[in-house]
């Protein structure tokens, strides 16, 4: 009875799964019409295994574009691993060869094991290279973390394990200044699109995702 109520409550909240736990339906490799063999879905988990890459990896992106949304997913990384959740990705490979050339990123990483974790604004939960997290509620390597990205009419909120870690407004002058002060300063198109796809990053390291769901606002 309790489980049933929980499911109904989720439905009322308007969240829709965008990963069915069994297949990669609804997703594709950026710039391709298929999913790279390094990405596998089984037992409710989407797993990126770099050992299976063999030039057949790449960032995984949603088939659908989103504007105002609340994204929830859980992630965990292998020791020394790095990945990310990238959003507002504009999939035009003639202009942008990679997802991160247009989409901002919520960092997914082993803070202590990967060299990027030693860099300011490159740690788990950060708005990568733009805003440092208010706190670091990330769990130990190998444990699941709940990430949330909420974008509503320009207001951007990142949450990690229930804690708000980043709050900002996109596309205003402050946003432009954040970009200007980052590694993306000269990347035409970065952080400018108001609709786009959601991407799970192939950074060459082992990572897992599950319970991926979204509510359009």
pLDDT tens per residue, range 108-131: 999 999 999 999 999 999 999 999
- pTM summary value: 0.93
Please tell me the least confidently modeled range out of 7-16, 152-161, 187-196.
Answer: 7-16
Lookup: tokens for 155:
């207001």
Buried b (16+ CB within 10 A) or exposed e, 78-93: beebbbbbbbbbbbee
Torsion angle defined by CA atoms of residues 211, 39, 49 and 44, in that order, rounded to the nearest 10 degrees:
30
Domain locations in the chain? 17-216
Q: Which fold has domain 17-216?
A: Jelly Rolls (2.60.120)
Instruction: Please tell me the distance from the alpha carbon of residue 110 to that of residue 166, in angstroms, as a whole number.
Output: 19
Summarised one tens digit per residue, pLDDT across range 30-81 is 999 999 999 999 999 999 999 998 878 899 999 999 999 999 999 999 999 9
pLDDT in tens, 143-156: 999 999 999 999 99
């Amino acid at each position: 009875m309790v489980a049933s109520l929980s499911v109904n409550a989720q439905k009322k909240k308007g969240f829709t799964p965008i990963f069915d736990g069994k297949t990669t339906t609804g997703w594709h490799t950026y710039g391709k019409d298929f999913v790279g063999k390094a990405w596998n879905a089984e037992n409710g988990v989407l797993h990126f295994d770099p050992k299976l890459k063999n030039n057949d990896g790449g960032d995984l992106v949603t088939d659908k574009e989103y504007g105002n949304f609340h994204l929830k997913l859980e992630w965990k990384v292998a020791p020394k691993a790095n990945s990310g959740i990238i959003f507002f990705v504009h999939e035009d490979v003639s202009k942008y060869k990679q997802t991160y050339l247009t989409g901002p990123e919520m960092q997914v990483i082993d803070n202590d094991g990967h060299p990027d974790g030693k860099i300011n604004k490159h740690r788990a939960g950060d708005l990568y290279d733009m805003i440092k997290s208010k706190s670091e509620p990330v769990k130990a390597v190998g444990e699941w973390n709940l990430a949330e990205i909420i974008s509503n009419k320009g207001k951007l909120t990142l949450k990690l394990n229930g804690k708000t870690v980043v709050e900002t407004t996109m596309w205003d002058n402050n946003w432009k200044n954040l970009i200007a002060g980052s590694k993306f300063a000269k990347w035409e198109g970065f952080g400018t699109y108001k609709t786009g796809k959601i991407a799970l990053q192939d950074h060459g390291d082992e990572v897992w995702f599950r319970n991926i769901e979204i509510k359009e606002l």
